[in-house]
Structure 1
Amino acid sequence: MDTSTAQTLTNLIQLNGNLTLTGSNDLTLAGKISGTGGLNKAGTNTLTLSGANDFTGNSTLGGGTLILQNATGLGTGQLTLSANSSLDASGLSLANNINLATRNLTLTNSTATTLGGVLSGTGSLIKSGAGDLTLAGANASYNGVVQLTNGRLVIANDAAIGIGSLRTSANTTLDSDASRIINNAVQLLGNLNLAGSNDLAINGSISGNGGLTKNGSAALTLGGASTYVGGTRLNAGTLISAPVLRWATQ
């Protein structure tokens, strides 16, 4: 399906098979989408799904931007990337599994968003929006890089980052929803703020030119053999470091 101009459709859609959206122009599907099929989004345009959908097929995102305005916008199926793409699910909690395959997914949410499904693949998950991003899935098989380039990332599962690494840009924030332990390597491209809402242990190595600023009343445990050079500032709470940790207070 394609359109000659940007369009908003309010029709009900029944998917008995997969529907390919060619993506020549921006398209909003505001009606309910049901059935056993899925959606295949192609093109560099923006596709907006705003209905309370219950289709059960898997969908693919092959470029451009997908905007979800309803937590069930993708139905109950999995979303798989076939090209580098962007996703805006501002204010929503999504339960869908997401397979990044070898592609990069940029999250542009302006308000708090939760990804509760399982992440898989080797592509990068890039958090660029100002809104909080909570990763709540048990992403034990995800082997990509989570890139925190803006705002706050909330760890809501010990396997939230998967088995890959976390790369953080300057003046970003890492937090957790409860007491959490992550074993991932962390690369600091600039200063990373630890919000300290709950106890957090980072047992992977920490490297890079950036530093750490520990805020909040909770305990932060640094258990890896780390080489970051930007220093460590303890503003509140407790800092627990392994004997092999190399850190400085400034």
Structure 2
Amino acid sequence: VNIGTGGNTELAGTIELHGDCLFNVGGTSLTISGLITGDGGLIKNGGSPLILTNVNTYTGDTRLNTGVMRLNGNGSITGSSNITLVGGTTLSVTGRVDSTLTLVAGQALKGNGTVNGTLIAGANSTVSPGLDAIGALTVSNAVTLLGTTTMELNGDSGTNDVLRSDSSITYGGTLSLTNLGGPLTNGASFKLFRASSYTGTFSSLAPTTPGPGQAWNTNALSTTGTISVVGPATIGSITLSGSTLVISGSNGVPLGTYYMRASTNVTVPLTNWTRIATNTFTPSGNFSFTNIITSAFPMRFFALEMP
């Protein structure tokens, strides 16, 4: 569909999409007030706005290559499986009755463009900043993440995808990270989110660890939107005074949990060792464990375990 350089144009009838349909919008704007249905997708080109005002049901992908697409009134695209915003494009929902783009189960939002309005990513939806490479997705208002947020990072270059909000970000659901580079080093940090404030927590993190013996430090997500790599925790000193054994060290997850296990047989798997204590690292990642030696164990081995 090509809209020339004239004035505003409106299409009021039903449009049924099969395959991808390209809307090349010139002129002032193109408003589609009729229903868009079918199993095809919508591709938006051209520098003028494409405005949708109906509760559309088409199930193909939506891709903004250039310019602005607006959802006004009750306009929605909740049936569209993938919404892609190429860099420099804007999906505006400030003209909707709730000024909100709500992603439903099975929907994915990705790219380097901007959502003008509020974003709510519901359960089983996906938000993925960047497009075929590391990039950034921007939202002008508050963001609520309840599905899966996928981010790429590169341990070699120290770069990563970014989700920006000009307001607040509420965490929830799953944070899924993919490292495009070499093994992540201890102390590496990645600022994944940029907002004026952060609330909530992710219920799960994938992968659960950055690498062997390492752990994710997620404490700064709530203050700066940053995640970092720590570990493995190291034992710095072992002291024995009378019957008191003190094991201390560093490089743990600040305020994170650790376990002490013990066994009289060092050859058995760690999972078979007895968990004798559950403690918390200090804010700087240090730890100190005290054990009273008794005659009940003529020989005993200890191991530090991080979840």
TM-score, length of structure 2 as denominator length: 0.52
Query: Kindly tell me: are residues 185 and 172 of structure 1, through their superposed partners in 2, closer, same or farther at Cα, counting changes over 3 Å?
Result: farther
After TM superposition, the structure 1 stretch with the greater mean CA deviation from structure 2, 134-143 or 177-186, is 177-186
Kindly provide the amino acid, as one letter, of the partner of residue 133 in structure 1: V
**Partner of residue 33 from structure 1, selected from 30, 33, 36:** 36
**Partner of residue 241 from structure 1, selected from 283, 286, 289:** 283
User: What's the counterpart of residue 127 of structure 2?
Assistant: 119
CA–CA separation in structure 2 for the residues paired with 1:9 and 1:27: 8
User: What's the counterpart of residue 89 of structure 2?
Assistant: 85
- Counterpart mapping for 1:70-219 below 5 A: 70=74, 72-73=76-77, 75-89=79-93, 90-95=99-104, 96-100=107-111, 104-109=112-117, 112-116=118-122, 117-120=125-128, 121=131, 122-129=133-140, 131-140=141-150, 142=152, 145-148=161-164, 150-159=166-175, 162-163=177-178, 165-166=190-191, 172-176=196-200, 194=223, 203-204=227-228
Query: Kindly tell me: are residues 194 and 10 of structure 1, through their superposed partners in 2, closer, same or farther at Cα, counting changes over 3 Å?
Result: farther
Q: Deviations over 1:32-63 (max 9, x none)?
A: 11112111101222222221111122222102
Query: Kindly tell me: are residues 43 and 77 of structure 1, through their superposed partners in 2, closer, same or farther at Cα, counting changes over 3 Å?
Result: same
Larger % of strand: which? 2
CA RMSD of aligned residues (A): 3.9
Q: Deviations over 1:96-122 (max 9, x none)?
A: 21242xxx122221xx32134223443
User: What's the counterpart of residue 51 of structure 1?
Assistant: 54
Query: Kindly tell me: are residues 115 and 93 of structure 1, through their superposed partners in 2, closer, same or farther at Cα, counting changes over 3 Å?
Result: same
CA–CA separation in structure 1 for the residues paired with 2:61 and 2:203: 34
Query: Kindly tell me: are residues 222 and 30 of structure 1, through their superposed partners in 2, closer, same or farther at Cα, counting changes over 3 Å?
Result: farther
* Kept in 2: contact 1:55–1:77 (CA 8 A): no
* Kept in 1: contact 2:144–2:171 (CA 8 A): yes
Aligned identity (percent) is 21
CA positional deviation for 1:155:
1.2
Query: Kindly tell me: are residues 39 and 203 of structure 1, through their superposed partners in 2, closer, same or farther at Cα, counting changes over 3 Å?
Result: closer
* Structure with the greater alpha carbon radius of gyration: 2
CA–CA separation in structure 2 for the residues paired with 1:185 and 1:65: 38
* Kept in 2: contact 1:71–1:94 (CA 8 A): no
After TM superposition, the structure 1 stretch with the greater mean CA deviation from structure 2, 2-11 or 37-46, is 2-11
Count matched residues. 199
CA positional deviation for 1:202:
6.3
CA positional deviation for 1:181:
6.5
Q: Which runs of 5+ in 1 are unaligned?
A: 196-200, 206-220, 225-239, 245-250
Q: Deviations over 1:179-207 (max 9, x none)?
A: 67698899x9xxx9849xxxxx96526xx
Q: Deviations over 1:62-91 (max 9, x none)?
A: 021222344742533212344431222332
Query: Kindly tell me: are residues 151 and 17 of structure 1, through their superposed partners in 2, closer, same or farther at Cα, counting changes over 3 Å?
Result: same
Q: Which runs of 5+ in 2 are unaligned?
A: 94-98, 154-159, 180-189, 211-215, 230-252, 257-281, 287-307
Kindly provide the amino acid, as one letter, of the partner of residue 2 in structure 2: D
After TM superposition, the structure 1 stretch with the greater mean CA deviation from structure 2, 34-43 or 131-140, is 131-140
CA–CA separation in structure 2 for the residues paired with 1:202 and 1:223: 16
TM-score, length of structure 1 as denominator length: 0.62
CA–CA separation in structure 2 for the residues paired with 1:88 and 1:21: 17
